[in-house]
Amino acid sequence: MYIHELQDWPRFRWDREGLTEPLAAVRHRQGRLIGRMEALGFNLRQEAVLHTLTADVLKSSEIEGEKLDAEQVRSSIARRLGMDIGALKPADRHVEGIVEMMLDATRHYDQPLTADRLFSWHASLFPAGRSGMTRIRVGAWRDDSTGPMTVVSGPVGKEHVHFEAPAAARLDREMQAFLDWFNAHADIDPVLKAGLAHLWFVTIHPFDDGNGRLARAIADMALAGSENSPQRFYSMSAQIRPERAAYYDILEQTQKGRIDITPWMDWFLGCLGRAIDGAQTTLAAVLAKARFWEAIAGVAINERQRLVLNRLLDGFEGKLTTSKYAKLTQCSQDTALRDILSLVECSILIRNPEGGRSTSYTLVTAAPLTSVDVVPHQGHQPLRRRGAEGV
């Protein structure tokens, strides 16, 4: 029997005492990371949010086997955050829709989750009304007109059914119960609420497709509520992506198990802890930039110099010359040279060995920092399913 067929569904149980220690550990990591980010200036915090949300959108789609254009995603998020990141790459409406859905979930975490809001998110995920080549119901619960909602893997004729969702006739009742619970002030830690919401929603599987991404967006919404902040500095999806096989396995085991969901909650807390720890790597460039500006806090820097130094910290292509400096800051060659020599005198820039017209300059730091690292699509292949995401 699937979990939604059990007599006690959806009266979930878990070992509260057994989860006390891992929950406290995650809450401690959460607090430390947020405290560290709040110590940064506004611009660096915004940059950290841009890094995190970009990774979150990319990885949540990769979990389902879809690879988005990273620059389109980054540009779309930057526009919505009102950030100036230089040349913005136009994003197609599919990317814009995914970004819009994710930002609505996290920036408006304190607003009720309703059926209409979910329908709007779903329509944003599938602006053309299709999943691949297949037409699907958009902005409405599935009707199972082509058969039960199942998640399968394996070649045609040898499919293995991992999960079968509740029948479409139950969806109105099931989703109302879920939404009532989610919007109520339940006696549950908000982090545990995120884990339970993720499992509950993906088990109901109310849409023809997109259920996995929507479940992760709902979990992110609950996590934003746990911090009482729309700013995101870590990504569950970015951590689930390399653990995708384990993610699918624990979901399948839970959905074929008992109403006691302790193993799922324990896995969710562990994955969340690893996501928070992983933020140190994802945000390394932002944190290094913060350390750089702290180190030169006593040096008088004009706006032209600040602009160029930030470009160098972000990973400047090629070598910095007076010509490039003048072009970037729209100043004269003489002004560019004076600015550069001032930074050399302060030991912020160093002159490279080549001279003459080839004279170039480098930051007196480690190698230039880069933006969000996008892991190539590899490893465990996504499950094949009839209009479904997640198990």
228 vs 40, residue with greater confidence: 228
At 88 the three-state DSSP class reads: coil
The answer to whether 211 is annotated as binding is yes
- Name, in order, each residue with C-beta under 8 angstroms of 151's C-beta and a sequence gap of 6 or more: 161, 162, 163, 164, 383, 385, 386, 388, 390, 391
The answer to whether 373 is annotated as binding is no
| DSSP conformation letters of 151-217 | EEESSTTS-EEEEEPPPGGGHHHHHHHHHHHHHS--SS-HHHHHHHHHHHHHHH--SSS-HHHHHHH
How much is the pLDDT for 36? Answer: 84
What is the CB neighbour count within 10 angstroms for residue 199? 24
Q: How far apart are the first and last CA of the chain?
A: 15
How buried is 85 (Cβ within 10 angstroms: 0-12 exposed, 13-18 middle, 19+ buried)? middle
The answer to whether 325 is annotated as binding is no
- Residues 63 and 45 sit within 8 Å (Cβ to Cβ): no
Place of tokens 């490279």: 352
In this model, does residue 382 exceed pLDDT 50?
Answer: no
At 349 the three-state DSSP class reads: strand
pTM above 0.85, yes or no: no
The answer to whether 212 is annotated as binding is yes
Place of tokens 């995920």: 125
299-335 core/surface letters (b: 16 or more CB in 10 A; e: else) = eebeebbeebbebbbbebeeebbbebbbebbebeeeb
pLDDT in tens, 192-251: 999 999 999 999 999 999 999 999 999 999 999 999 999 999 999 999 999 999 999 999
Where do the domains of the chain lie, and which CATH numbers do they carry?
A: 3-283 (1.10.3290.10), 296-363 (1.10.10.10)
Active site residues: 205
- Name, in order, each residue with C-beta under 8 angstroms of 39's C-beta and a sequence gap of 6 or more: none
pLDDT in tens, 15-28: 999 999 999 999 99
44 vs 210, residue with greater confidence: 210
The answer to whether 15 is annotated as binding is no
Average pLDDT score over residue span 243-269:
95
Among residues 205, 188, 207, 209, which one has the least CA distance to residue 261? 188
What is the CB neighbour count within 10 angstroms for residue 20? 11
Lowest mean pLDDT among 81-90, 114-123, 248-257: 81-90
How much is the pLDDT for 375? Answer: 31
41 vs 270, residue with greater confidence: 270
The answer to whether 31 is annotated as binding is no
CA distance 363 to 197: 47
User: 306: which DSSP letter?
Assistant: H
Task: Give the mean pLDDT of the chain.
Answer: 87
In this model, does residue 372 exceed pLDDT 60?
Answer: no
pLDDT in tens, 266-288: 999 999 999 999 887 777 777 77
Average pLDDT score over residue span 117-135:
92
How much is the pLDDT for 185? Answer: 82
The answer to whether 352 is annotated as binding is no
pLDDT in tens, 89-111: 888 999 999 999 999 999 999 99
Alpha-carbon dihedral angle through residues 191, 192, 194, 199, given to the nearest 10 degrees:
160
In this model, does residue 87 exceed pLDDT 70?
Answer: no
